[in-house]
Every structure is written in structure tokens, then in C-alpha cells.
Structure 1
Amino acid sequence: MEPTDQEKAPPIHSVFSADSPEFALLSWALTRSTVIGLDAEWKPIRSHQHQPTFPTVSLLQIACLLAPENESTYRSSDVSLVFLLDLQAIQLPLVYELLREVFVSPNIVKLGFRFKQDLVYLSSTFCSQGCNAGFDRVEPFIDITCIYNYLQQSKQLGRKVPKQTKSLAAICKEVLGISLSKELQCSDWSQRPLTKEQKTYAAADAHCLLDIFKVFRAKVVREGNSFRNYNKNWSSNFDQGLKQIFETQNSCNLVTRTRLCEASDMIRTTIPQLHSTIQTNAELDSIKSCEVTKQVDDAFLWIVSKYGDRILLKDSDRRPKTSKKKVRKSSAGLICKEKRAEISDDWQGPPPWDLSLGGDGSPKFLCDVMVEGLAKHLRCVGLDAAIPYSKKPETRDLIDQAAKEKRVLLTRDAKILRHEYLIKNQIYRVKSLLKNEQLLEVIETFQLKISEDRLMSRCTKCNGKFIQKPLTTEEAVEAAKGFQVIPNCLFNKNIEFWQCMDCNQLYWEGTQYHNAVQKFIDVCKLNE
């Protein structure tokens, strides 16, 4: 594909009314297109509440690839048009039949990128405006991801490479060498009028599908081997393979079907007689042109045969999934994840821990890897806070450790709440992000009493308790042999040392100690 084809912006036509010249142009373009790119935009749902309906599609983008009359199906002179169908302004019943026929027309290859969700939302939008049948399928359909995977296989010289899931922007960058900005993807598409930037973005999303397909088609034609074997039995299988295309009603109105018939006649009759009728150079040039036309048309039909797919919507696809949360059974009965999530946001009823399980009137905590930094802060204010045994624990490991050590599990992972029935009232989801705010949240939620004399009373390294009697300098030096280095500057300061009974780590009341005490006095507002 020539760079100029990628860089030239196609004409953009906004369609607001079924009576407008733009709509007439759209109808005309669709009858003369064999490939179109489809995309849709809607207002993003920012609320975390479960929606009773699907989002309403605000804009449908249709990029049409037009081939010149009386020429081969595809040439470098193909013309592209992009239409922005404003579904908020136009009366949907007036465009429903046209779109439905296009979606199922065997003569138009539809291109898209993960278009099933778009089709679900489109169908719901049209149903809400009186088009009760909605849309149930799109065929033939080719997902751009399949094209990308084919191009990747070609780069690897036939070696099989794992299929990759990439964004449309990443595919455009690799295949076309252009950057497809996605900054406006989550803009409010329900606002009118649309900005120039929104229109350009929407048009580019649909048009890039055509450009990627052109690269794909050129690659197939250039290599030739991909469809050569397919053509060996072409004359006998032509009608059988495209039977559905030629049996479609009103088929003679579409240029594509006429071209396919001409290609069939060319393959069946013209080619076998060529060598016996060649007499002039002009005839030779004409024959070469026919050969090129045949090759390109054959490649296109091979692409449709091999990569043409369909999108089918089932009844389950048409029903909004208000919650993906499954109902789980326990000895207490059915527990719903949605209900648990609500409880975690505003805890009601008794405190979320068993008072009899804690020490010194406070619960013991287990901080999972997502709030591991919170554990050190809890220890600094004198609370018993453990961390998982392993660096990457499974959910079951966390639950077992919390149950075994009789701890309240602190987490930011909402998925773990589904297991609440295993350690009922012993799990809490922390909502804050910063460690100081997390500490205050836990103190407030669990109604904990923090006093200055409990600050720095636990080992911040392992959560162990200190020995009851402090060590002298001589005792500390002896305890630290082969384990820990004590700075020489401490020997003449008559400082007391404290040792963890679990990991034997030594602590002393130096500058860092006093700074840490003052920090948590301020954080916990102990002076107020």
C-alpha cells in the first residue's frame, strides 16, 4: 500500500436525517461497496451501579470502500467515504431496514474490531425506538484481529506464532505505521454538537479498518500461494461456494455481484481460449489485464471464504447482565456477592470481628499483599498485624491463615469478599489508597483506641513483641554478635535497647525512634 493512501484523510459525511443528501449518498455508497468498516460510539458508563439496560449508541461509523465502475473489484484507485450516522438525531425506524440488509448482505464484507459488543448495544438502541426485531447477526464479517494474526504469520515465514490480543491502536501502529489516538474514546458521545476532534477520531476508527484490509489484500495477492491451490478446482466449485450469494433476492442491483459473475465468465471461458486468439500486442495487453483482474478477484474471494465469519446474537446476549456475581451456597444458605460489596462499603450490625479473638481488646489483623504497607503502620501504633506466609499467596492460603491465627483479613481486593462466608465477620475491604489514610480508616472502622505509650511497641520487621525488660549496652552487644551491628556512637549515651522475642532484632530509642513516635502522634491526632 502506498503511503499516500494511508495519509489522505477520506471525506467525512455526517448523516442527521433520512431526508438529507448525505443519507442518499450513504445509500448509494452501500450499493457500490464490497467492503465496509463498522464502529460505534456511546456515552461511557461511569457509575459503578448495575445498569438495568445497555448503553445507548450515539454514533455509528460506516467506512465504505468504493471500486470504480467497469474495473476490477479492487485497484489502487479505490475511493473511500466515511459516514457518521447520528443515531440521536435521525429517526431510527427510517434507517433500520437499510442497516439490517447491509449487516446480512452476502455481497458486502463487514470489517470490525471486537464488534459483537457494538452490535449488542446497537440492537438494544434500535429496539428501544420501536424496531423490535433489532439486529441478530452480521455476515460475512472479518475481525481485524484475524487479519493481524495472518500478517504476523507471514512475517514469521510460515512458522506458527501464538495469536495475540492487541488494541486497534497497536495494530494500526504495526500494520500501517500510523498512531491512532484513543484520547477521545471515553468522551461524552451523547453531547451535541460533536466537536471536530470527535468527528475526526470517530472517522479514523472506521477508516483504519479499510486501510488494514488493503494491506492484507495486497499481501495475499503478492504472495499468490495462499489462494493458488484454492483456484485449481475453481470452475467446478464456484457456483457451489457462492450459491448463497447468487440466490439472494434483488441481487442484480449490486455492482459487486455483477463483477463476480463477470469474473466467473472470465475464468470459465476467456482464459482457456486466450492463447488461440492472440494476434496483436494490444490483445496481449488486454489479456494481461484480465489475468491481473482474475488474480485480484480470486484473492478477494479466497479471503472471504477463509476468513469470512459471522456474528450471531443469542437471546442471552440481548439481556443486560446486571451482575456477573454468582450466587454461592454455604451452610448458612445463599450469599450474594453484590450484597457483600454493599456491606463492605457501609458496614452495618456488629463490629466486623469477634471481640473474643483479639488481644488487649483489639483484633489481630492479616494484611494481604495489596495492603502490606499498612501492616507496618499498624505495628507502629502497637497493633498485631501479620502478613501472608508467601509473597504470592492463593486466596485459600489467606483464608486458612486468617482462620488459623484468628485474624481479621484486610484487603483491597473485592474478589476476596466472595469467600466471606468462610470467615464471617473476619474480613474487611480497605477503601483508602494511602497508608496513613488506611491506618485511620482501620482505626475508625474497628473503633480502636490508640495511646502514646503503645507507639513503637511491636517489631516492625516481624510483628513480634519486645522483651519486657530493656537490655544494657553490654547485653545488647552480646546479643547482636554475628547478627546485627550496633553503631559505636551509641556506646557512651546510656541508651536502653529492646529486643524482639521472635526475630531477635534490636531496637533503641534514637533519633529515628523519636521521629516515628512524633509522626504517629500527628497521624492519629493523639494530642487533640
Structure 2
Amino acid sequence: MSYRGIPAGYEDDEDWCLSDMVQKITVVPDITTAAGLNNENFDRNLSTDVNNWFESYKEQWNSYKRTPAAQHNLKVMLMRDPDPLLLALKLFANCPGCNNLKNKNLALFILETICDLHTQHPEISANCSDNTRMVAFNFVKTCGMVPLYKAVMSTYELKKICERLVPKIKELITQGHFKDAAHWTINLQITHLFSIFDIIFPLILQDKASLAEEYLNVAKDLQLPTVQFLDSLLDKQKTVLEHCDEILMKYEYKDVKHNVLSYRPMSKLVTRLAKKYKIETHLTPNLNFTKACSYMHYLWHKYQDGGMSCDAWRELVRDAASTRLLQMDLVTNVASYGDYEEAQYWLNYFNIPLEDLPSDMRKNFQWHITAEKTEDDKVLLNTSNESTNSTNSGGAINKSKRSNSATNNLYLTLNLPIESVIIIDNGAKFLEMLDYLESQLLIAFDSEWKPTVCNENVISLLQMATMDRVYLLDCLSTQLNDELWLQLGRRVFNNLEILKIGFSLHQDLRMLHKSLPLQLNLNTKTCYLDLREMWRRLKYLQIVKFPYDSGFNTGDSLCALTEICLGKKLDKSNQCSNWANRPLRHDQIVYAALDAHCLLQVYQVLSEMLLRLGLDVDQVVDEVTTGKTGYLFRMKRVISEQNDGCSTVFSPKTNLPKVKAVNAQIENNCTINVKFIADSMLYGLSKELRKLGIDCLEIIRDNLGPYIDIAKRENRYILTRDSRYNLFTEMLPRAQCLQIPNDSSVEQVLNILRLLDIKIYDCNLFTRCLNCNSNEFILALRHEIQMMRYGQALDEAKNACERNVWPYEKTFQLLNANKDILKSKATYRGRPIKLNRIKSHILRSKEHFYICDNCGICTWDGAHSIHGSVMEVILFNNSETASAAGF
């Protein structure tokens, strides 16, 4: 038996199969075959002189690759030929790798060079024939390089043979090259010749939605049909995949990402395209149905959780359930949660016959109705004992009402008579309001809008409150013209003499600017006070104790702020309601008035707290409105000194233990003694602190016990926020826990430096590993890194470096790399040295490298940077030190 062709040693191996070896042989087609017009072969033969030159040129290319000289020599040769474009294609076809273009490929270099030459000398295309154009297209049609497509199309003027290229592009589609076909049709501007199922839908199936969008940006006539077709796939009678089955079989799409053919990604795509191309909502019925269903389900859960009143719930649902399908979905959803009484209400309201419901649900309804009648009969029999029988139906209702009444006592109430709440819906009332508001120095404002599913939100009501009045401006009133709104903007909102306070002002101002013709001057922020920002700063500095702060309040909402300042929450059951309804319900009017007026009450409490501490309220307000920092930090230090070094000021009634602040001063050797433990949610903060040489551990495990022990043992500050702050204060003194606001890591660092008066000097910078917090490093010179990385060092580098690290001493432990380190490529602690992080250009330009002895990370001077605002603080400290030393 012959074993010819089988590698030695495999003759008796039963697993060896000749067919396996045959399958690994790839036949690369000749690109010149059928490359010209009418599928004629392309003649790539070169003349003797050109061939000799090209052989020499290829040798030079293998040695030097891309150089200006190589491109110049190629351009000179091309310009000598009467048809440079044709010669470039011949050279291209004679290059190795012309079938597989890559960035360092000679074939690609030739095409790029001829395209660059054409931009300099457009006249070289004068002799270009249609056959040459077709060859150029066939050579690059599936290379996948979009910039090259554009360059070749321009250089070889492919639009001149556009009609001949259409069949070629259809061949690409048949072969499954949808991405390439899309780019060619876009560049040639022939998108109108192809349908949705030729290019757009196949791209979506391949999860190339971004390219499909790029295609639709050009194919404007296909935008609406595409969105409507994709919306048809969202019909919930079948799955998206089932809707596509027939199409997939008809067009025989091969490369399909089935994760795309599911409801969620498809609905997201339809939403994005409909918004981008401004498709009217009635043209996407299935998407709108889904949104409306989700919206009503959200409202139902909010109502069930007690975050919404019954009136508000029913108002919004009446408006949202606009079709019979939505009404049926509403009833089905409510009944599925067992609330047949509410479901029965909607059956009656929408006149839905019981027979239209599914059979199993219809039976449940019938059983519930029967049970309800039986219960009613029992109630009638016990009417004589109604006053004493607490278990009957009437007693239960009365108990529920008493319970609700008790619950309402927990909520903040409007401390103004209802006559002081004035609805502004005509011009006369509006002008009278303007005269009054213009004379005020302090105004609170808020806004309300109806939640919508498919349309943009528009403000329906604007509340303007003073201490003794609240104006409710009907933004939907036709009697309030643009001139009146312009006067409100000019005389009140843009008036620098009136301080306007709000909560999360950015959102309200953005909505006002979008919805009303106020012509707001948004650059003038000094007359707008955001109570949320003021609260955030006071919490961060911990210089005040809020009147009703139990230490367990979570969140940063207005509801939480009113609770710690006024002792009661806001009842938000009418927040999500139909604010476009007219007339407004009484409880809506009360809610809207209270939402604005409570801001003034909170501001009054905060002002009194600041005054009791001896702080200037105007300076605090100016600091918050302008975004400056300094005054509160200075006062924080003054108050801390007055309270025996306690970093947090507590109310006299508070019996919490006081812990002396961690010493954050700098010794003569510039060592920073303050230490931190940063919560994992404060991403990036520990890294920024370590850049400054500050010892900062990071919480990386859920078990907080070991970190608490470290904080107690080493007197470390805990840096955290939100509910975790309350958790840490249960186990550590509050003075040792800092609440960090949701700022950038740079702002957080600046606030910490100011709060604890930490001085940072040049000798502290980059003296801790950003990865593991260690301050022990190994100094390695350039040639030593080269020896570890490449096995040998360059001769010119061996004597170029000296072990002179810094012109001054650094505050870290620095060891030298010895022979054992170079041989083992590991630190003194046995950690592998991570050399791959050092790029070749860094290795050529840097002389000293620092290896963390604890984790093996390599760094160098300039590997990391410090933000400019932080550097200003450091430079200021250094200048102070120099002045004190007499320099």
C-alpha cells in the first residue's frame, strides 16, 4: 500500500485522513481573470525595462518599506508612461499579496500612490479607457477598504461606467458581499436602483445597523419604507424571527446574526430610525403599541406601589389607551394581577363585552362577580351591627380611610390658604402677576408636564412662588401670547436683581427654554440658585446638622431634602398625572403650589442653619451660583478649630462619639500622613489620589469587615457616598467618613485637599503605584529593560544612562535592579515584571523606568499626567514653601 503524500510517522495513524490535508489547500484565483469589460482577461505583462526596474524596486521595498523616496521613485516611473493609470494596475497585478491587501502591502502602496499622483496631476486620467476602469473596480471591489474605494472611484472616474458596474454590484450582493455593495452604491450614488432587501435588510441581519443607517442617509426614498417594514416585524402576533422566515427563505441570506431577530433589538432600531428620520408616529403602529403598553404597565406598577393617586392613574390611562388593542391589553394586565375590581371599571368604561376576553380570564371574572355579590349580601345582613363589627366591609373601608388619613399626616402640607394660589390663564392676570413678581427679591419656580410615550414633553404648567403667593401659569392657554412670555423672561427670569431658586434647575431651565418663548439668558447663572447643589456642598463639608436628619436618609431628591429640613416628605402621588387636562383637579393644584412653595421653606431653614454657624448666607449663595469654591472650605476649617479639632460639627443634642481629625499635615520630609480607603463606586478617585502620593486603598470585596478594621487601626478616612455612607457611619465615627459628591474625580480630589488642608509637593508626585498603592519601586535603566525584553541591550544605550533619578529626593523606597532581577524578569517580591506595557518608542526616548516591587507594573516619567487645576494647587504650595525658606 502506498503512503505517498503522508508525512513520515503518520503511516499507521488511523486518525490521519488525506481529505483533511486536501481541505487545507486554498486555491487563490488569479485577479486578472475576467477582470476587464465583457469578462475579458487583463494583460499584466510588463515591458523588459519596466520589469527590470520593478524587480529592483521590490527588493528595495522589502528592505525599507514605505519611505518618501520609495513613493517618489514610483511616481517618477508612472509619469514616464503614456498611461500611468494602466501601468499602476499592471504593477499592482504583479505584486505578491494583491489578492489580500494589507496596510504594509506593496500592492496597496501602489494604488495609494497612483491616487495621490492623480490629485497632483489630474490630467493623467486623459488616456484611461473603460476597460481600465473596469479592471480597477474588479481589483479592489471586495478589499473592504472604504477610503480606497473612494480614491479609486475618483482616480479612475468609475462613474463613467456606472451602468456597466450595476450588474457587478448585483453579483456582489448574490455572493453575500453586502457591505462592499453598500459602499459602492453610496459612492456611485445609485442607491435608487436597489431595494430594501438587496442591501439594507441584509446589513441589518449581519448586525451592521450603523452602515445601514449610513446607506439610508443617502437613500432618502427608502427611509420611510424601511422603517415601516421593520415596524411590521414588531407585530406581536408572531415573533420577529417568524415574521422573517419567508423573507430569509426567498432571498437565501446566509450570514444572519439571529440575536438581531428578537423583539428588543429590533424595537430599539425602529425607535432610533423613526426619530432620526422624523417618521410620524402613526406610521409605526406596532412600535407605538409596544410603547403604549409598556407605558401603561409602568403606570400600573407606580399606582400599585402607592406612588400615584387613583385619579392621576385613570386620567393618564384614559388618554393612553386609544385603541381597542391597548384597552384589551390594559384590562388583561390589570386582571392578571388579581385586581378584578379595577379591571371591571375599565371594562365598563371602554364598553368591552365580557365575551371578548380570553376564556380563562372570562371565567375568573364571572367567579369574582359571583363572590362579590355574595359579599354584598353578607354586608346587608350585618348592617345593624355596622358600628361595632370591625370585620365587615363597611368597617374595612372606614379603617382604610383612617389609615390613609394617618398616612397623609406624614406628608408636607401647603401652609398657605387656597385663595393665595392663583391660576394665570389670561393676559390681565398675567400682567398683574408680572408687576408683583418684579418687586420681589426671592422667587421659587417649578414646572410640570404631561408624560408622553411617543411625543416630546412640553411644559403644561409653570409655578412661580413667593412667601405669601403661588402663581400657576397655564402654559397651554391660548390667551397667553408670545409677547407676555417675552415680558416674563425679560422682567423676571433675566432680572439679575431677583434670585430664582429651584431644585435640579438644569432640567427645568432646559424645558422652559424649549417649550416657551422666554428668550432666557442661560449664561447668566448668578441669579439662579439650585438647592440641590447647595445641599450637596453642605453635605459634603459636613459643617451643619440638618434639623430632622436621622442619618438614615437616602437619595438626593427634593422629597428627601424636605424630610430632613421640614420633617415631612412631599406627597408625589400627583407628580405623574395628566397636566394637560383642563380644568386641573383640586389635588393637582395643591400639589403644584406646594412643589414650588416648599423650596422657599427649605431655603429659609438652610439660611437659618448657616446663620447659627456664623456663616454669611450671601457669600454661600454666591459661591453656589457661580460655581466657585473657597469660602465654605475656609469656614469649615475655622469651625473645626472651634470644635476641638472635630472634623464634623454636630448638634448639641447629638451624643455621637467625636473622633479627632486625622493629621493631614506634612512633616519635614514631605511625607503625607493622611490615609484613605475609597469605596469601589468612586471609580477613578483612588487613582487620582495615588498620583499625588497619597496612600489610598480601594474596596474591592463585598465583605467590609477587613476594611473597617484597617480604618480603625490606621485611622484612615472612608470615602463613600449615598446609602453606603450610612452603612459606614454605623461602624465608624462619623468624623472618619466623608460623603463624596457625584463630581468628576478631579473635582473630588480638589475638594478633599481643601477640606483636610493637605499640602502636596513635587516630591510626593507619582510615588505610589496607581495599580496597587505600593510605594516601593525598582529603578531600571533603559539598557536593563532592553536586556529583559529582548535578551540584549543596544550598545549605544549601555553607557547612556546614569542612576541619577531626580534632582531632589522622592518620598518612596527605591531599589536598584540587580543581576537576579534582570535574569528572572521578576521583582524582589517575585512578581513578574510587565514589560509589554512599554512601547518601543518609549523605550527609545526614556532613560529611567520604575518597576513596582509589589505588582510588577512598569512606569516612567510622563507615563501619567495630573490635571491642570490640581497642579495649580501643588505649584502654589511649592511657592509658599520657597518663600518661607527665603528663596
Q: Same fold (TM over 0.5)?
A: no
Q: TM-score, normalised by structure 2?
A: 0.25
Which structure carries more strand by proportion? 1
Q: TM-score, normalised by structure 1?
A: 0.40
Q: Which has the higher contact order (CA 8 A, sep 6+)?
A: 1
Which structure carries more helix by proportion? 2
Larger radius of gyration: 2
